[in-house]
Amino acid sequence: MESDAPIERYEDLLVPFVSAQKTEERIGAEMEKFGVRADGSPIQYEGPDGVLVFLNDLIAKGWVPDSEYEGGPVLSLTKNGGSITLEPGSQFELSGAQHEDVHAVSQEGYDHLRELLPLSEKLGVQWLGLGFHPYAKRSDFTFVPKLRYGIMKEYLPTRGHYALDMMLRTSTVQANFDYRSEADAMRKLRVGLWLSPLNAAIFANSPFVEGERFGGKSYRAKVWLDVDNDRSGLVPAVLGKSAGYTEYVEWALSVPMFLIKRDGRPIKNTGQTFRDFWKNGFDGHRAMQSDWQTHINTLFPEVRLKRTIEVRSADSQNLVFAPALSALWTGIFYDNSALGRAESLVADFTFDEVNAVRQDVWRLGLQSPWRGKTLQPLAESLLEIAMGGLARRAKKNAKGEDERVHLAPLVALVEKGLSPSDLLKPASMAPADLIAATRITVD
């Protein structure tokens, strides 16, 4: 809940979470993708084949544009509860509407790409569902003219070696879920965080860097190990069974800020934690609810608590595996028996061992060592739990299939110990072959 009310009491810091509690069990998906030319180079914000051309084409099809300030550049679109936004390197993101089942989430992804295809074909642009750009170097990108990104590109490189790579060269798929209460939110947050390295391994899909195989499964997962450890990772404070909103708030209060906004314009403030800003102010400004909401939005843990629970550790995918992320966590989070079994699965996990395997999954995927075996048996157990949850939900599509249909391709892959990256076998590393092997299709 964003407003101009000052933060007077500690309880005010809980408002964004308490006000988000709801009885619905909806699913929202976000999918980022790279637009590339025939030679593998990235399209930019401007230019004859830039993302602005695509935004304007969608505006003509009924999408509503939005800018940060009057007369400013178009940076996002909205329509029917969904939105299209741009990441710093012009990664094109569909932030979908909230849906009742995974069937609708999947259909939305196909509909979105079909809407892009006529202009894409005309301009010779292909869309890649990978976690890391397979060709481009940092220097090949220009930044999207979003005011916040100007602050981030100066500050984040002081915090992590791969910060600019995260901003410019990574793409993700994300799944977002409702929560009914504090207890429900924390159950989902804890399970998701404990299993986030496993999730990254299951969805590893970025084996190419600057035109070569780098030797691992997910370069994006490697990047996230060194971006800004203050605001990313596993959030140990909330992993304990007694943790609540307060523990998440305490963590967030201790994270350095990026900015505050006044009159729609960002004011750089990277020298304070939010706790210090709340107590002492900054340059004559007091901490407001809108500042707190902005700060929460600039935290990047593997699973994030906002107005929904956001599962964030997966690489971007094609349209077969992208819905599988929503299906996996719908089966876990929206079936109480499945959530309980998932809690039992992680009950004896320790931070040290989960953090250790997080250092391995970018390289080894499901073959990462785990308790004398590999992660594959753990992945198989999690998927079995999720399939049961989806079966009990019994949400059918027009063909009479339940939501397990969206998870089945991933189950088959995991049974072989493979991740999506293992399926990417271009005839050569030439742009035409690599694009053919990694482009998103609606077939």
Residue 315 and residue 206 in contact, taking contact as beta carbons nearer than 8 Å: yes
Residue 3 has pLDDT above 80, yes or no: no
Residue 167 has pLDDT above 80, yes or no: yes
321 assigned to some structural domain:
yes
Q: What is the pLDDT of residue 2?
A: 45
Q: What is the pLDDT of residue 199?
A: 99
Q: What is the pLDDT of residue 1?
A: 39
Q: What is the pLDDT of residue 4?
A: 77
Residue identified by tokens 């481009």 is 136
The strand pair at 172-177 and 309-315 is best described as antiparallel
The strand pair at 232-233 and 300-301 is best described as parallel
| Residue 288: C-alpha distances to residues 179, 293, 390 (Å) | 25, 9, 41
Please list, in sequence order, all residues whose beta carbon lies within 8 angstroms of the beta carbon of residue 271, skipping any fewer than 6 positions away: 256
2 assigned to some structural domain:
no
Residue 41 has pLDDT above 50, yes or no: yes
CATH of the domain at 394: 3.30.590.20
Number of neighbours of residue 384 by Cβ within 10 angstroms = 14
30 assigned to some structural domain:
yes
4 assigned to some structural domain:
no
- The boundaries of the domain holding residue 180 are 10-438
Crossing angle between the packed helical segments 404-414 and 375-393, to the nearest 10 degrees: 160
Q: What is the pLDDT of residue 190?
A: 99
For the record, the structure tokens of 9 come out as 């009491």
| Predicted TM-score of the model (pTM) | 0.97
**Dihedral through CA 336, CA 243, CA 4, CA 293, nearest 10?**
-70
89 assigned to some structural domain:
yes
pLDDT more than 70, % of the chain: 99
Residue 443 has pLDDT above 90, yes or no: no
209 assigned to some structural domain:
yes
443 assigned to some structural domain:
no
Domain count, the chain: 1
Number of neighbours of residue 60 by Cβ within 10 angstroms = 8
